[in-house]
Amino acid sequence: MGTDYYRHDGQIQDITGNVLNNSHASFTAGASPILIFTATDALFAPLAQRQVLRSQQAFQQAAQNDTMLAVAEAYFQVQQARGELAGVLDARTKTEDLVGRIAQLAEVLVPPSEKRRAEAASARLDQAVFQAQERWRLASAELNRLLRLDPTTVVQPLEPPHLQVTLIDTSADVDALIRMGLTNRPELRGHQALVQAALRQLQKERLRPLMPSVLLRGASTGVFGTLGLGVFGGGTNSNLNNWGLREDYDLQVLWELQSFGLANRALVKQRQSDHQLALLELFRTQDRIAAEVAQAHAQVVMAAKRLQAAERETKAAFTLVEENREGFRQTRKVGEVPLLIVRAQEVLAAIQTLALAYNDYYGAVADFNRAQFRLYRAIGNASAAVGGLCSSPPLESPPVASPVSREP
């Protein structure tokens, strides 16, 4: 809407071809619709954009799934560091106890070298405690970064570090899991929507030369074709003494060939390429998802086996330490010389074996939990379907060191 003032002075030609010399002016105030309706755009552009919207919603869900996995992995990194700290603290306590017992025994039973070896091992475990505390703080900072919490806060999870999370049974069929992933992964839905959007764009360009466009505009202001309805006044020279309503519209139905059809053909080829690229990306995503499910399933299965082995290792090491500590209290005589049934270095070796077993155990627990969440994410977080796949009870926990209750 708006106003228009038009003024002419000098030569002008009338519709019969006569050239006249006159002056006249006109003024128009009104409004007009200006509409360019391209049938192909009107039909296919909304369909394509609707598919693009669906793809963005699916990719948003995929980003949420990835964030969930990142947080879970960071959380179990904290748990692993806590477990390793608990294990090394238990080993250090047992080593310090051994040093104290050696100091109470006569040199005839324990040579000075045995005492120095135990003291060196105790000092080495002090370093291991500091290293475990450092790993706990680093893991806490990473978890706080993902959760947007204070990075200086040391995370103290409520669950014990030997907690085992079983989301999916290790005996679940991997082919069934792959099918589940190909059905539920939001990335696939997103790429499928992009394929459909590219197809709609291809259809639009193929039909563009065949379907007309509609042009509607006002014609009350001459060649400019803007205002179509309003108050019109005019007269000779500068006199605007003849007023009234005026209404003029121009409606056209047009077919367009861009560059004699060559540009249309190029646009069709471009949309065909876009469609092929979208299809290739979809197939690549399918292959990647199938591989991720298979890899995560293999990690779950192997981590479960490692965890069972680590449980046996920790139980055996724990029993070995207790037996050696008990034997260290007992002596026997060889002739007139009293000897310890178990030497100090044997007790020390058993404690070192237990410390390694703790690390293996807590690492296996964390790897098992991380693998469970990787598989959960790989199949698309299909919660309803996962319920039927989690039937096995969690693995039994061995006698391990109690998690520390204080911050490192």
How do residues 195-234 score in pLDDT, each as one tens digit?
A: 999 999 999 999 999 999 999 988 888 667 788 899 998 8
- Asked if residue 231 is part of any domain, the answer here is no
**What's the whole-model pTM score?**
0.79
- Asked if residue 1 is part of any domain, the answer here is no
Pick the residue with more confidence: 33 or 301? 301
pLDDT at residue 342, as a whole number: 63
pLDDT at residue 104, as a whole number: 73
Using the predicted structure, report yes or no on whether residue 187 has a pLDDT greater than 60.
yes
Q: Report helix, strand or coil for 43.
A: helix
- Asked if residue 333 is part of any domain, the answer here is yes
How do residues 54-79 score in pLDDT, each as one tens digit?
A: 999 999 999 999 999 999 999 999 99
For residue 138, give its domain range. Answer: 42-205+285-386
DSSP element (H, E) containing 235: strand 229-236
Q: Report helix, strand or coil for 35.
A: strand
Tokens 């053909």 correspond to what residue? 265
CB 323 within 8 A of CB 300: no
* Dist CA 164 CA 311 (whole Å): 12
- Asked if residue 394 is part of any domain, the answer here is no
- Asked if residue 105 is part of any domain, the answer here is yes
The domain that contains 145 carries what CATH number? 1.20.1600.10
Q: What is the DSSP string of 133-186?
A: HHHHHHHHHHHHHHHT--TTPPP--SS-TT----SS-TTS-HHHHHHHHHHH-H
What separation in angstroms does the CA of 226 have from each of 2, 218, 234? 9, 5, 18
- Asked if residue 93 is part of any domain, the answer here is yes
Number of domains in the chain: 1
Using the predicted structure, report yes or no on whether residue 116 has a pLDDT greater than 50.
yes
- Asked if residue 15 is part of any domain, the answer here is no
* Strand 337-340, strand 2-13: pairing: unpaired
Using the predicted structure, report yes or no on whether residue 139 has a pLDDT greater than 80.
yes
- Asked if residue 144 is part of any domain, the answer here is yes
